[in-house]
Chain A
Amino acid sequence: MIADLGYIALLFAFITAVYSAFAAWYGRRSDNWRWVESARNATVITLPLVALSAALLITLLLQDDFSIEYVWRVSSIEQPTYLKVTALWGGQAGSLLFWNLLLAIFTAAAMFRKWDEQKPLMPYALMVASFTQIFFLMLSAFVENPFARITGMIPANGNGLNPLLRHPGMIIHPPMLYLGFTGFTIPYTFAVAALMSGKLDDTWIRTTRRWTLVAWLFLSLGLILGGRWAYDVLGWGGYWGWDPVENASLIPWLSGTAFLHSVMIQEKRDMFKVWNMFLIIVTYALVILGTFVVRSGVISSVHSFAESAVGPLFFGFIAVMFIFSAYWLNKRREELAGKNSLTSFFSREAAFLYNNFLILAILVITFLFTYYPIISELFTGERGFVGPPVYEKALAPLFALLLLLMGVAPLTMWYRTSMNRLQKAMLWPFIIATTTIIVLFFLNIRHWAALVGFWVVTFAVVLTLMEFGKGTRARMKHGENVFVAFSNLMARNRRRYGGYWIHMGVLIMAVGIIGVELYQEETQQLMQIGDKISLGRYEMQLLGVQQYEGPDDLIITEATVDVYDNGDLVATLTPRREIYTRTGQPMTIPKARSTIAEDFYVLLAEQPTSPNAAIMRVFLNPMINWVWAGGFVFVLGTLIAAWPDAVEDRITAVRARRRPAIAVAGD
């Protein structure tokens, strides 16, 4: 009954989405605004229908209704309630429904909030948004039905959520990625609407600026949390493995980052309009491709969903949307051509251009390596593969240049920057960075890549701090004290200083990445009780191994070790292995002694067979916590930049009203 209702709601949502696309098209064609309004109302009805469907699936999960295949797959009677709820995105069918829900929320919100400001764009925006929703609802309703029943005998209990997905990081990680992914459909929708309507000024960018930032924030959060989850749960001492599925979310994040930067050139200098359109179209296509890669198994990955029929459908959809957008972009190319051009290679706009170039280069290389198995098979008949060292070798110089640019770009000015000024501003950062690496050299940090990396990071950090200092000092001249001046600086120019905070976050993360990548140490050893092993300054002693029953169907085997730093006892750790007895799925939970300088990270490498011995694997991860701290600053910066600004909103609204009503170019 509940399942039928859920499915019917899904079907109705599909029908309303189809209606919405049709009504928007017909309304535009017949110049009958009532049809367009009806289309909007339909998108607003799609939302509660999808929400009802998702709520009913959660109800089924909570009721342990194992006659529903999806519930059987991802839930079990013993599963704690919160995990029964999060199981909504624990498998393929549910996560597609969840995706639909997020898309419906974003679409309805965008259509409601921007209705009066952006009327000429609306019929087209409705068509494009509905089209995306139709595709995903079609997948849910007809291909991956989450309400499908099990044929034959109904199992007494379910499989349970994959233990690897029970970590808090993993519970939030997929929704964050999905929010990021679906969020990017909104700027795309308005971009294509601008192309179709011929209203090609920067309205679409201003309209969707905050959407883009929020989508980007979620995507960033998803990537950071994914790394944290890998570090905490996968037990390999790392946080990023250049796995195709990871790359599938990184790639659209990169193009989104390029887009966020290059729209600023369009806003200030009315340049690069075609380029911005291109970037947002590519980002959208990469978002859908990312969703597809995760689900298709097209590239062997450590973690992917089961191979299913959705693959070819995704591919078809991407092709249609890409060709459709490219057609419109080409059609409007002449009208989009900017009147301005670069006046100097040392201007703010040129700096943004270099930024775009570097990010795109990173994107292209990552893309090429990720899809190398397919590409090489296509050209040579042999399926090749590239591993993480290849990525690192090719990308490290580009990342270093990007960090350098991060520091220098804020010094540049629009139109042209005086060379003198640039050189003067860079003198102190140069001296400080150089002194830093000389000190590091004498502290026995001799790896050339580390020295180059730390030089670039220090240089960029000092430059960024100087920007904060300059702004604050300027305000203090008007009688504000240092704290008031600093906070007003943030509040009055959120996008700029939020951006600098984001840069700081990236630079802090870079310190951590350099540390872990170049100075990670590890060892693995069979230890008897009382045995000691040492790694770096640390020594570790095995005190005991015990086994006990945990909640749910868990059996936990736990080792107790003492960790000594230079002979002083600093921590007692209990790394463990958990076995979910019903599925036989083990999980290795590492434990770490964390300090700002490093993590001493301990794993039980194998299921101990006696209470007197255990095989321990130990990692020394220098600076790893800088990665997480940098991630925190990064997110904070994005929040500053994206925070609603009443003054700015008013200005945008006034501007929109003042603009002469442009007749919508019909086609």
Chain B
Amino acid sequence: MADVSWTNETDSGLTESRGNNRLKFIAGGVVMIAAIAFLVFNAMSGNTQLYKTVEEFHNEQASLVGRDLRVAGWVLGDSIQFEQIDAMTSRLEFDIVDDYENPDLRLHIVAMNEPMPDLLQDKAQALVEGSAGADGVFMANSGGLMLKCPTRYEEMDPSGHPDGVPVDGS
């Protein structure tokens, strides 16, 4: 708003000032749009994550090491382990897959010092933010573990098995 004049126009100058106003409006608008673009790019630079499925992760693993990622997949119940290492350190591990029909294509997730999420159980859908090391183990960021909630209820058929589990969250 710095580009705005502080003087008050007299009535006789109104017509002229209208044209002037329009110009100021356009100039002000351009400045503001530039400011927003700056805010967006400034906030996003280096802070966006790539979104990968388990399969995509494996295909591109070499190029993804150390990068900020968000992976999605279905939890394998048997793989969930919670270990309290000492008073201040805990380790939560589990595997996710894209497809229960293909359990070999899985991603091992490790989350340190995270509480055990209520929804972390077999056939839950997990979204994990973090990054992977060269060993292919995916370390979750602090607070980067999210489990989808009501989905489970909607997708189970009366026999208790999820029907048509989609490949990912898209």
Contacts and interface: CB of A to CB of B under 8 A. Distances in A.
Do A and B pair up? The answer is yes
Q: Which size class do A's interface residues fall under? A: 35 or more
B154 A305 contact: yes
B87 A525 contact: yes
A235 B115 contact: yes
Nearest to A150: B158
Contacts of B146: 302
Interface stretch (A120-128, A216-224, A383-391, A552-560): A383-391
B8 A418 contact: yes
A376 B52 CA distance: 13
A526 B86 contact: yes
Given A344-B8, A386-B49, A394-B40, A152 B150 contact: no
B149 interface: yes
B76 interface: no
Given A152-B158, A384-B48, A416-B8, A393 B42 contact: yes
Contact of A605 (B52, B115, B156): B115
Given A159-B153, A159-B156, A607-B116, A615 B40 contact: no
B51 A345 contact: no
Q: Which size class do B's interface residues fall under? A: 35 or more
Nearest to B24: A345
A345 B4 contact: yes
A214 to B, nearest CB: 28
B86 A386 contact: no
Contacts of A605: 90, 115-116
Interface string B144-156: 0011111101111
Interface string A345-380: 110000000100100010011001000110010000
A384 B153 contact: no
A397 B39 contact: yes
Contacts of A524: 88, 90, 113, 115
A9 B115 CA distance: 48
Contacts of B9: 343-344
Interface string A65-100: 000010011100000000000000001100000000
B100 interface: no
Interface stretch (A39-47, A259-267, A327-335, A585-593): A585-593
Given A235-B118, A341-B18, A361 B36 contact: yes
B151 A526 contact: no
A534 interface: no
B148 A385 contact: no
Contact of A387 (B17, B119, B129, B155): B129
Nearest to B150: A162
A72 B158 contact: yes
Interface stretch (A192-200, A293-301, A440-448, A459-467): A293-301
Contacts of A153: 158
B118 A586 contact: yes
B68 to A, nearest CB: 9
Chain B interface main SS type: mixed
Contacts of B59: none
Interface string B74-106: 000000001010111010000000000000000
A584 B121 contact: yes
A615 B92 CA distance: 13
Nearest to B11: A343
A235 B17 CA distance: 57
B151 A588 contact: no
Nearest to B151: A306
A606 B8 contact: no
B47 A389 contact: yes
Contacts of B8: 344, 416, 418-419
Contacts of A345: 1, 4-5, 21, 24
A394 B118 contact: no
A577 to B, nearest CB: 8
Contact of A342 (B21, B52, B154): B21
A386 B44 contact: yes
A305 B158 contact: no
Nearest to A164: B149
Interface of A: 69, 72-74, 91-92, 150, 152-153, 155, 159, 162, 164-165, 235-236, 297-298, 300-307, 341-346, 354, 357, 361, 364-365, 368, 372-373, 376, 382-387, 389-391, 393-395, 397-398, 416, 418-419, 524-527, 584-588, 603, 605-607, 615, 617
Given A72-B158, A300-B72, A303-B150, 18 more contacts: A91-B154, A159-B153, A300-B51, A301-B169, A305-B154, A345-B21, A354-B1, A361-B36, A385-B48, A390-B44, A390-B47, A394-B39, A394-B40, A394-B42, A525-B88, A526-B86, A584-B121, A606-B90
Interface of B: 1, 4-6, 8-9, 14, 17-18, 21, 24-25, 32, 36, 39-40, 42-44, 47-52, 70, 72, 82, 84, 86-88, 90, 113, 115-116, 118-119, 121, 127, 129, 143, 146-151, 153-156, 158, 166, 168-170
